[in-house]
A = this chain, B = another copy of it.
Amino acid sequence: MMDLEFIQNQVLMILTRVKNQLRQDPSFETVQTKSNRNDLVTNRDQGIERQIVDFLREKFPTARIISEESWHQQVNDSRGLIFLVDPIDGTMNFVKCRDQFASMIGVYVNGIPLFGAIVDVMQNQVYYGGPQMGAFCDQQPLAGLPDPSLAQSLVTIGQHLLIDPQAPYWPLIRQSSGLRVYGSAGIVWTRLLQGKQQIYISQLQPWDLAAGRAIAAALGIVVRAIDAHPLNMLKSQLVIIGTKCATTEALKVISRAQEL
């Protein structure tokens, strides 16, 4: 059950299938709002989630599954094998742009990241890896990442955090090389993994965090809760993700800004 190669093969098989379906037909019939008017779910999010969950249930009958659109299947502890599934991350982009959205699966054992995979659907790219196996894009190992200063780093801050003018993130942006906002955690993860940006701060759900965190571990990318509590893969939390130097500097800038 915990055979890493089998897990990797199954996760990549279902995500590749989903990617190809979405590329062939990136349309949807219904779109509904969830927590707010910009938090969307389409029939495709739901259908793809069902497809992934059914597949994983068949292959891993004793595992538990946490997935975005059916969070009501409560998982209250981290024991054993858990799959965290985001069928379409960046649903607003899927609906409005038909690009810059991702599908993600993270695999954890007793709360420890084992494996993750992220597909950038419209770029037709599959990122995957884990702490023991390294990080890959389409079978090619991802290059080791440089460790630039904050001044040399591109940063993404979740837009719900930016919209507060009192937010302590503006001094950080001013000290960086610039802000980028893509509207999909999965897309930001792919850019972090490729060294195309260095910092990501956002309030993230377990399924936004799980796959990227597992792959990032192989590249030395730091992932931590911003209030310094240990990460909890069962709840939403404010996290900072980034290369080492830039993350250390960013946390200092935020902490100074919060003192003022």
Contact = CB atoms under 8 A, between A and B. Distances in A.
Interface string A203-242: 0000000000000000000000000000000000000000
A134 interface: no
B163 A196 contact: no
Contact of A174 (B163, B170, B177, B194): B163
A159 B183 contact: no
Interface stretch (A52-60, A61-69, A91-99): A91-99
Q: Give 5 nearest A-B pairs by CB, closest first.
A: A165-B165, A97-B196, A181-B181, A159-B179, A179-B181
Contacts of A152: 96
Interface string A162-196: 11011000100110011111110000000100101
A96 B146 CA distance: 11
Contact of A159 (B38, B96, B98, B178): B178
A151 interface: yes
Interface residues of A, number: 29
A114 interface: no
A166 to B, nearest CB: 8
A173 B196 contact: no
B170 A165 contact: yes
Residue picked from A166, A181, A191, most chain B C-beta under 10 Å = A181
B92 A197 contact: no
A121 interface: no
B180 A183 contact: yes
A182 B183 contact: no
A37 interface: yes
Nearest to A173: B163
A154 interface: yes
Contacts of A196: 96-99
Contacts of A178: 38, 92, 159, 183
21 contacts: A37-B151, A92-B178, A96-B152, A96-B177, A96-B197, A97-B191, A97-B194, A97-B196, A97-B197, A98-B196, A99-B196, A159-B173, A159-B178, A159-B179, A162-B162, A162-B179, A163-B170, A163-B173, A163-B174, A178-B183, A179-B181
